[in-house]
Amino acid sequence: MGATLANNGINPAISAQVVKAEYIPHALATMTMAGLRDGSGGWAWHVGLPAKSGVDGGILAVVPGKGAITVFVPPLDEAGNSVKAQEVIEYVANELNYNMYSPASVGLEVGSLFWKIGHLVGWPDAQPNY
C-alpha cells in the first residue's frame, strides 16, 4: 500500500491504478496530520514524511514519488507508536534526505538557500556559505 500511495495510486507490482490519483493528496495529508496520533506534529517536524502507525508496533511511512519505508518493532510509546520504528524511519529519512520540509530534500543546500534569500531581500552581509 505504501508503494501505491507513493506512486500516485498505481500499484507498482501490477502496474494498475488501484486508488484514484485525486485521493492520494488527501490520504497523505491525513497521514501527516493524524497518522501517528498525538505524535504526528513532532513526526512531521523531525521526519517530514506522511506515516501511519498501527497498535501492533508497525509504522508505514510514504516517500511520495519514491516508495515507502515500513518497520515493525514493538513496544509502543505513550502515544501508541513504536519507539524503535520511529527511530529507524527517522534515521533512513535523514540519511536519504527524504524530509519533505527540508530544503535538502528538494536539492537545495541550506547555506545556499539562506544566501539566496538574503541576496533577494537586500541583506548587505549575505554571503554564500556552501
- Do residues 33 and 19 make contact, with C-beta atoms less than 8 angstroms apart? no
pLDDT at residue number 23: 98
Mean pLDDT, range 73-79, rounded to an integer: 94
pLDDT digits (tens, 9 = 90+) for 29-52: 999 999 999 999 999 989 999 999
pLDDT at residue number 101: 85
Q: Is 83 among the domain residues?
A: yes
C-alpha dihedral sign at 99, 39, 31, 33: negative
pTM of the model as a whole: 0.79
**What's the domain range around 15?**
2-99
The set of residues, in sequence order, having a beta carbon less than 8 Å from that of 92 and lying 6+ positions away, is 69, 98
Q: Kindly tell me if the per-residue pLDDT of 94 is higher than 50.
A: yes
Q: Is 110 among the domain residues?
A: no
What grid cell was written down for 49? Answer: 514524511
Q: Is 80 among the domain residues?
A: yes
Q: Is 129 among the domain residues?
A: no
pLDDT at residue number 63: 96
Mean pLDDT, range 93-108, rounded to an integer: 80
Q: Is 116 among the domain residues?
A: no
Domain count, the chain: 1
Q: Is 65 among the domain residues?
A: yes
Q: How far apart are CA 62 and CA 107, in angstroms?
A: 19
Q: Is 34 among the domain residues?
A: yes
The band of 97, judged by pLDDT with boundaries at 50, 70 and 90, is: confident
Q: Is 8 among the domain residues?
A: yes
The CATH number that applies at residue 27 is 3.40.710.10
- Do residues 65 and 42 make contact, with C-beta atoms less than 8 angstroms apart? no
